[in-house]
Structure 1
Amino acid sequence: MKRIAIFTGSLSGADPGFSDLAVGVGRELAGRGIGVVYGGGRAGLMGAVADGAREAGGEVIGVIPRSMVDREWAHGDITELHVCETMHERKSIMAEKSDAFLALPGGLGTLEEIFEVWTWRQLGFHRKPVGFLNANSFWSPLINALDTIVASGFLSAVALEDIVVEQELPAALEALSRRIIDA
């Protein structure tokens, strides 16, 4: 895996451990020679992932809409910053530049981004693996809700089994890498 898109919060969250996790993810990816593709922001967990990766000498590619640059939300110290016009364009560029997708803790934007690329995978628009880093069981309530959706007949069990859900980053990266080979 050469690059991974990280979807995570533009806020830091209530638990300081979220920021530590994000910095650690950035450092670990850089240490493994895996580039980060992310939303281009300087704040919250997004900024923490970028900072961790840059501090460890990693490649960090940000993709951000012009309106967010105008609000001075863009990170100023990353390898590349691609400025686009819309959120749709942002996700398309991020998908193009990535080999896999991983959601860290986050809110609506994180959910929207990871669900869209997962939907694209299910529709055959790409074969890149999709996963959730379920650190401290952050995503467990969502996974439980998805189990309910499967049981209710609105999502196939195969589609749910298609995503990677791991508590630790090394296991998540290993599972995502295996699915790249299988894709």
Structure 2
Amino acid sequence: MSATLRTLRFYLAVGLVQGLLLMGIWLSNTVSGEVMIASSAGLLMGGSLLQLLPERRGQGLTWLAAAVLGLVVTGLVLACRELPLTSLVLNSVAAVLVLLTLISAAVLPGLAHFWRRFFGHGLEVALALPLPWIAQALFKAWTSSHYRDPFKGGWEALVFFAGPTLAFSLGLFLIGLCIKALLRRTTIAAAC
């Protein structure tokens, strides 16, 4: 199997596991809403860190950093539960969580070329972020036209929770491929 296909398999596996865990968290009804939101944020940010560093997926330090980031994000979201639920506060908390993930992904390989990695990962995330919302909107349109309830479990629940995470994963993979191809083309053109 080629390295590209192994990387694609890794992205899709992380996206699917994120979706399955989100489904388990939200359909279990055993914890409070605040804990569900906080653990979901930690799960998404930790998984995003893994996906931003696919070349380091074989290193235990990367997985440990993803787990630590997930716990830190969960704690931060729980600490922010007393803040008013205005759009400014919610957007600010989300921006801080994404920044923490980007900083973690840029620092983990070392401090050399930090800013290049930080902005590169930021570009990848910015380009991939609309994809989960598009996937969610398409699924909501389908469920409303067919009168389905994804919160009853089954196939619809899996698609409802794993669809956006898989869309984000696939988007990050394709964007990463395009950026690498553009950089290769630029390097070849500069060498000629």
Structure that is richer in helix per residue? 2
Say which structure, 1 or 2, has more relative contact order (CA 8 Å, 6+ apart): 2
Larger radius of gyration: 2
TM-score by length of 2: 0.28
Structure that is richer in strand per residue? 1
TM-score by length of 1: 0.29
